[in-house]
Amino acid sequence: MLSQQLLNALSLGSVYAVFALGFTLIFGVLGVINLSHGVIFMMGSYIALQLVTLLHLPIVLALVVAAILSGLLAVVIDWLVLRPLRARNAPHLAPMIATIGVSILLTSLIQGLMGAEIRRFPSGTLPEESITWGDLHITYVQIGIMVIAIMMMVGLWLLMKKTQLGRALRAIAESPKAAALLGIPVEKLFYCTSFMAGSLGGVAGVLVGLSFNAISPFMGQPMLHKGIAVIILGGMGDIRGALIGGLFLGFAEVFSVAYLSSDFRDAIAFGLLFLILLIKPSGLFGRILERKA
């Protein structure tokens, strides 16, 4: 059963990584911890759910539309909530509190519109039978999540390293003021970043909704907690860190259940995380923090 547990760990870790990618991107560029990322994740899965159930869109198309709409939602949140705070030079705790407010608002809104109960994509949205390979069972969604996690990470990493846009974003991450002096349209790129992060969050929501059949207004909260742990472990704002951190948390959780005790799963996983942070306080790839220090 070791191979099955390895696979379980890999797919759970990919879920965490997909969620953490957008989260870490926002921090890297805007320098704020956007706690509304959890509800954007939740909104993404609801948007896709509505598209599939009401408009009977195929799931791939629904995924794309959900990605765009959750990206736009993130831009609206940025424009309404984060921009005024930026303009007033608010201390960095203010955006955190403000985005908690956004989370509560949107969670209540969805709960009012859709009800608190859990929903799932209609059965047959994706092939449900698992592929068996000896003792190993893997579902199509699991494969999809792993592939998409890696694709998104590589894509995002290439974007940041190899394109003009990426260079501009990295300049902003370094210092928004200096970037503005160099003629980089900082505000526009903030919106652009919010859009990308929101899309990533929305995609993560759709994938999680597809694989775990548990779409609810509250699905973002536990994911947000794990997401914070993942990006701290990976190094705040680092894209590779989000993937490695996500996979680390997935492996730590699955293997403490498999070979130690499920009662102490979170204690073990977060204990390990703490140990790593003791050795490397800025996280595995934490260059930004080190540089600031």
Partner 1 sequence: MKLVRLALMSSLLSCSFYGVAADIKIGAAEALTGPAAKYGVAIKNGFTLALDEINAKGGVKGNKITLVMEDEQGKKEEAINVFKKLIFQDKVLMVFGPTLSNSAFAADPIAVAAKVVAFGTSNTASGITDMGPYVFRNSVMEQDVLPVVVKKAISHFKLSKVAVIYGNDDAFTKSGYDAFKLALEANKLPVTTTVTYAKGDIDFKAQLTKIKETNPDAIVCSCLVEEAANIVLQTRSLGMKQPFIGGNGFNSPKLFEIAKNAADDTLLGSPWSAENTSPANKAFMNGFKAKYGSEPDQFAAQAYDAMYILAEALGSITLTNNLEKDRAAIYEALPKVKHDGATGKFEFAKAPSKVGKESGYDAKQDAIVNIAKDGKFVLLK
The interface with partner 1 within residues 133-162 (CB under 8 A) comprises: 137, 139
Angle between the N-to-C axes of helices 186-212 and 59-77, in degrees from 0 to 180, rounded to the nearest 10: 140
Is the Cα torsion angle 32, 33, 37, 39 positive or negative in sign?
negative
Q: Print the binding letters for residues 7-46 with partner 1: x by CB under 8 A, - otherwise.
A: -xx-xx--x-------------------------------
Question: Which residue stretch of 3-11, 46-54, 74-82, 278-286 sits at the interface with partner 1 (rule: CB under 8 A)?
Answer: 3-11
Q: How many residues bind partner 1 (CB under 8 A)?
A: 39
Closest CA to 77 of 171, 190, 1: 190
Among 208, 230, 231, 232, binds partner 1 (CB under 8 A): 208
Among 57, 126, 213, 228, binds partner 1 (CB under 8 A): 213
In the structure encoding, which two tokens stand for residue 177, read together? Answer: 């003021």
For partner 1, the closer of residues 158 and 214 by Cβ is 214
Among 84, 115, 127, 185, binds partner 1 (CB under 8 A): 115
Contact yes or no for 57/244 (Cβ under 8 A): no
For partner 1, the closer of residues 169 and 249 by Cβ is 249
Contact yes or no for 138/8 (Cβ under 8 A): no
Give the shortest CB-84-to-partner 1 separation in angstroms.
29
Give the shortest CB-269-to-partner 1 separation in angstroms.
11
Among 265, 270, 272, 287, binds partner 1 (CB under 8 A): 265
Told to check if 290 binds partner 1 by CB under 8 A, we report: no
In the structure encoding, which two tokens stand for residue 102, read together? Answer: 């956004």
Amino acid identity of residue 140, one-letter, is Y
In the structure encoding, which two tokens stand for residue 215, read together? Answer: 């779409």
3-state helix, strand, coil in the chain (%, to 5): 75, 5, 20
Question: Which residue stretch of 23-31, 38-46, 116-124, 233-241 sits at the interface with partner 1 (rule: CB under 8 A)?
Answer: 116-124
Neighbours of 267 (CB within 10 A): 12
Question: Which residue stretch of 44-52, 73-81, 153-161, 205-213 sits at the interface with partner 1 (rule: CB under 8 A)?
Answer: 205-213
Would you give the distance in Å from CA 3 to the centre of its chain? Answer: 26
How wide is the angle at C-alpha 37 spanned by C-alphas 245 and 195, nearest 5°? 105
Q: Would you mind telling me the total number of residues written for the chain in this entry?
A: 293
How far is it, in rounded angstroms, from Cα 14 to Cα 246? 6
Query: 136 in helix, strand or coil?
Result: strand
Told to check if 53 binds partner 1 by CB under 8 A, we report: no
Residues that bind partner 1 in the complex, under the rule CB under 8 A: 1, 4-5, 8-9, 11-12, 15, 108, 111, 115-118, 120, 123, 128, 130, 132, 137, 139, 208, 212-214, 216, 218-219, 221-222, 253-255, 257-258, 262-263, 265-266
